Amino acid sequence: MSAFFIKYWRCLNPRGNVVDRAATSKESHVEAKERILQILDVPSAGTGPLDGILVVDFSRILAGPYCTMLLADLGATVVKIESASGDDTRAFAPPYRGDEATYFLSANRNKHSVVLDLLDPGDLAIAQELAAVADVFVQNFKHGGLEKFELDYESVRRTNPTILYNSITGFGTKQGAHLLGYDLLVQGAAGLMSITGEAEGDPQRVGVAVFDVMTGLHAAIGILAALAHRTASGEGQHVEVNLMMSALSGLTNQTEAYVAGGVVPTRMGNEHPSIFPYSPLPTAEGSLIVVAGNNGQFRSLAKAVQLPELAEDPRFDTPSNRNSNRVELRALLVEALAAHTAEEWFDILTGAGLPCAPINDIGGGVAMAQRLGLDPVVETEHNGRSVPTVRHPIDYSTIAPSYKLPPPQLGASSHLIREWAAQQRSEPIEVAVR
């Protein structure tokens, strides 16, 4: 362990041997953590359910940062550790907002950026000190990559037994430990690309890093579950997630088709393997996504398109029959939908209580959410710097997410954490000799 480790003092015992003293007591950790919250100007009494929880975030790119942003929205104090060049996504551009990559802005609200070089003994000591007082530690280094810095789970738990340590990998820590994990690789490896695209075309990637986001959500769920367990038992633990298992879990009915039914799903374009209609259909102008997920909805749809007899047609009277005879049913629906535009049909079908949706671009999606009163965009402002971001996705009846800080500029809080570390070393706390 580094000579600068938290409250690390060398002295001679009565026999003349060198011994080490480390302030690992619960009281020392609480005091040191409180100093961090004070120095970062975190309010002592907030309203978030995670107020007072310190998260040290060694993750980068998307899965880990998305997880820690959700925790920060709920009141946790997140100290984001970056190299001198910063999180990789600071360079994932265009697009930009000013000179900042919007990719980085999307997953780093409410955080404090601290630049540390783990190859520098002094900076490594600060990293170890932070790990020793944190409630949560999040990292997505290659498996084993933090052992040489004594920032792996086993090393951290020796000085911080109640730590909730979250590791994010691409393919787990067993036979896949040597494999690097990127969302696109897992989209291919898990099978998502094989079911995405037109039936006669090539496999296609999804237009967003869906498994990174999903893994970030799973990490947040795991951390919150571990936090509840620690509250009840006092025990810390290691919470591990990986993109591959998040992908297979998230593919839900498609993976279950294979696992339980022995069926290997294939590409069907915009069609659903088990439900029809459940796809975009052309109208007089534009396409509209039309869904009839049960018999009641299909009867309403048939009536709305002026073909009520379809609901009694034995070819279409059950979900299974509609699925088996989708070619014939599609032709009848397309002919009927030619009577109006997609916008007109949206009003007609939603007026009849039916599920349907336009096919918007991203701007159209944000605008639709605004029209529906979902308030999708929040401005985060600090010291005159304001950045719009997409708000926390969950609404609560008695608590409210906070938007105190815009995504941080690189190293914006480095001086504060260095000040904290210097203060720690100048005020040793006596604890039992090991």
For each of the chain's 434 residues, which pLDDT tens digit applies? 443 333 333 332 333 333 333 444 565 778 999 999 999 977 655 569 999 999 999 999 999 999 999 999 999 999 999 999 999 999 999 999 999 999 999 999 999 999 999 999 999 999 999 999 999 999 999 999 999 999 999 999 999 999 999 999 999 999 999 999 999 999 999 999 999 999 999 999 999 999 999 999 999 999 999 999 999 999 999 999 999 999 999 999 999 999 999 999 999 999 999 999 999 999 999 999 999 999 999 999 999 999 999 999 999 999 999 999 999 999 999 999 999 999 999 999 999 999 999 999 999 999 999 999 999 999 999 999 999 999 999 999 999 999 999 999 999 999 999 999 998 887 653 333 32
Q: Are 239 and 219 in contact (CB under 8 A)?
A: yes
- For 24, phi then psi, to 5°, come to -105, 5
pLDDT of residue 432: 32
Q: Which of 120, 152, 212, 361 is catalytic?
A: 212
Q: Are 403 and 73 in contact (CB under 8 A)?
A: yes
Return the beta strands (E) in 83-211 as ranges: 96-97, 100-101, 111-115, 136-139, 164-169
Residue with tokens 């030619």: 338
Candidates 213, 216, 255; CA nearest to 239 is 216
Q: In the annotation, is 183 catalytic?
A: no
pLDDT of residue 28: 77
Long-range contacts of 414-417 (CB under 8 A, 24+ apart): 414/113, 414/114, 414/115, 414/116, 416/39, 416/40, 416/112, 417/36, 417/39, 417/79, 417/112, 417/114, 417/126, 417/130
Q: Are 212 and 62 in contact (CB under 8 A)?
A: yes
Please give the domain boundaries of the chain with CATH numbers for all domains: 9-250+397-426 (3.40.50.10540), 278-359 (3.30.1540.10)
pLDDT of residue 9: 30
Contacts of 255 (CB under 8 A, 6+ apart): 191, 248, 249
* CA 355 – CA 275 distance, rounded (Å): 14
* CA 165 – CA 256 distance, rounded (Å): 31
Q: Are 56 and 136 in contact (CB under 8 A)?
A: yes
DSSP H helical ranges for 152-294? 153-159, 183-190, 210-233, 243-250, 252-261
Q: Interior CA angle at 420 toward 25 and 74, to 5°?
A: 80
Q: Are 68 and 59 in contact (CB under 8 A)?
A: yes
pLDDT of residue 44: 53
